[in-house]
């Protein structure tokens, strides 16, 4: 292959190797972006142009020509939001809002849920409609919700629409959060576009800590545990004992947390280097002592979006106890369906909805409100253990593709546990359980430990941080799942 052909292969979209934050190509992409961004850092329009063009290219490298959907979405909602804001007739404003909602949800439903509803129709009518070969565009769930919140906020007159189309396209295509969130509100993000670019040592250190921490979660913890243990358990639980299945669930709980929060941390860290502050998306959720607290800590941008644009408009807690429980259930069912086109996701959301309702009733009893000292600590520990295992139970249905597979896994845990094989299990997967132990240990460390690490990184200048990050990404790319490296460091 000639140099030109090889260069073209690297620069053009390759469905076999889409760009990821931990990929080798991202190093070159980010270095080129950082250089261009620094050249125009003192020019507002220059920053917007550079960021938007690189973001659109990033999206192209991630999913090819589906980049056009982002541009199309931006055009539709930029135009409609300005029309809504200028319009004085309430009926017309409401009609434009519903048109925006239908367009956004229609696009999301077509790409994500078409085959799901075809299966339902076939099941009800004994039909034979063939599934449609539709690829799911990366990030569509996230930027659809961002579009909806923006248009709704404009309709409520909580924010003014942007006057320049490029500014809205910049907000929607902002590459750090494009693939896996967090879901960013226009009201929080767009005002930052017009502020002067100021990068403090705190921004550099905090950004580096988040980027490296996110990469560590994703590559070292999530990918390794999943590829070397969790995927085998969930592929066919009947081949494994109950204790293996149980630890497979514990492993998946760590995998999905490190996967989601790792990407979010990287997005927030990169944004911090570019002068944009995005609120945290995860706050040590497995330390929660109730399911309500869990949803205040887990995927905060999604849970707050569902609260503000689904739960409260449905009536929230303003229309009585039973209506509140119904609103909670509907909100969580929608949240489950948002995650994927499967009855398992809907069931996952339903269990969480029911648990949230029961938790509110439990708190009204107030059995632990007056507890102090050791008794209060025991209530706390018990709450954390119960909440964690409830969440793990729900993760079984979130991960399994069918109820049959989920039932098989739970059956193994309940009726074929064989706890006496625990030591053999540890001996069979020593590296996996060491990484799992490290993951949970880091998760339950006090926050002051993180702050101490951040304080040390604050001392680095921007280019020193870039150098450290480059070496770190290169190392992760070289060792991949760390299989060649672990025997060197984990000799027991």
Q: Which residues are catalytic?
A: 339
Task: Quote the crossing angle between the two packed helices 403-415 and 242-273, to the nearest 10°.
Answer: 120
**How far apart are alpha carbons 299 and 257 in whole angstroms?**
9
**How far apart are alpha carbons 346 and 338 in whole angstroms?**
9
Which residues 6+ apart lie within 8 Å of 175 measured at CB? 51, 54, 55, 58, 59
Q: Residue 300, Cβ neighbours under 10 Å: how many? A: 19
Q: Residue 357, Cβ neighbours under 10 Å: how many? A: 20
């Amino acid at each position: 292959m000639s140099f030109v052909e090889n260069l073209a292969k690297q620069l053009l979209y390759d469905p076999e190797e889409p760009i990821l934050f931990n990929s080798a190509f991202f190093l070159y992409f980010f270095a080129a972006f950082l250089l261009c961004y620094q050249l125009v850092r003192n020019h507002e329009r220059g920053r917007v142009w550079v960021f938007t063009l690189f973001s659109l290219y990033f999206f192209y490298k991630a999913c090819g020509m589906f980049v056009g959907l982002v541009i199309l979405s931006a055009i539709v909602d930029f135009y409609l939001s300005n029309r809504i804001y200028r319009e004085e007739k309430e009926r017309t404003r409401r009609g434009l809002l519903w048109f925006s909602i239908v367009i956004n949800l229609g696009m999301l439903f077509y790409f994500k849920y078409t085959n799901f509803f075809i299966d339902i129709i076939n099941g009800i009518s004994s039909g034979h409609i063939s599934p449609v070969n539709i690829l799911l565009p990366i990030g569509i769930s996230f930027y659809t919700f961002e579009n909806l919140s923006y248009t709704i906020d404009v309709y409520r007159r909580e924010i003014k629409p942007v006057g320049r189309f490029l500014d809205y396209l910049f907000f929607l295509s902002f590459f750090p959060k494009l693939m896996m969130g967090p879901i960013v509100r226009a009201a929080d993000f767009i005002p930052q576009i017009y502020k002067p670019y100021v990068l403090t040592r705190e921004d550099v250190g905090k950004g580096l800590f988040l980027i490296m921490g996110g990469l560590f979660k994703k590559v070292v913890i999530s990918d390794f545990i999943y590829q070397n243990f969790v995927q085998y358990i969930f592929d066919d639980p009947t081949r494994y004992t109950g204790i293996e299945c149980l630890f497979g669930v514990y492993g998946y709980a760590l995998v999905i947390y490190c996967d989601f929060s790792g990407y979010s941390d990287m997005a927030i860290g990169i944004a911090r280097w570019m002068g944009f502050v995005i609120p945290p998306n995860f706050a040590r959720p497995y330390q929660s002592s109730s399911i309500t607290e869990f949803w205040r800590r887990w995927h905060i941008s999604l849970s707050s979006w569902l609260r503000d644009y689904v739960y409260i408009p449905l009536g929230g807690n303003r229309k009585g106890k039973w209506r509140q429980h119904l609103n909670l259930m509907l909100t969580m069912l929608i949240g489950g369906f948002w995650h994927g086109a499967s009855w398992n996701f809907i069931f996952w959301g339903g269990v969480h909805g029911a648990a949230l309702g029961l938790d509110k009733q439990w708190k009204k009893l107030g059995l632990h409100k007056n507890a102090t000292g050791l008794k209060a600590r025991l209530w706390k520990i018990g709450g954390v253990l119960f909440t964690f295992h409830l969440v793990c139970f729900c993760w079984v249905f979130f991960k399994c593709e069918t109820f049959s597979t989920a039932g098989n896994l739970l059956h193994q845990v309940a009726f074929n546990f064989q706890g006496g094989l625990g030591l053999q299990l540890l001996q069979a997967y020593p590296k996996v359980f060491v990484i799992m132990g490290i993951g949970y240990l880091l998760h339950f460390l006090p926050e002051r430990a993180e702050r101490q690490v951040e304080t040390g990184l604050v001392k680095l200048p921007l280019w020193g941080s870039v150098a450290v990050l480059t070496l770190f990404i290169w190392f992760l790319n070289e060792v991949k799942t760390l299989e060649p490296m672990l025997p060197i460091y984990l000799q027991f």
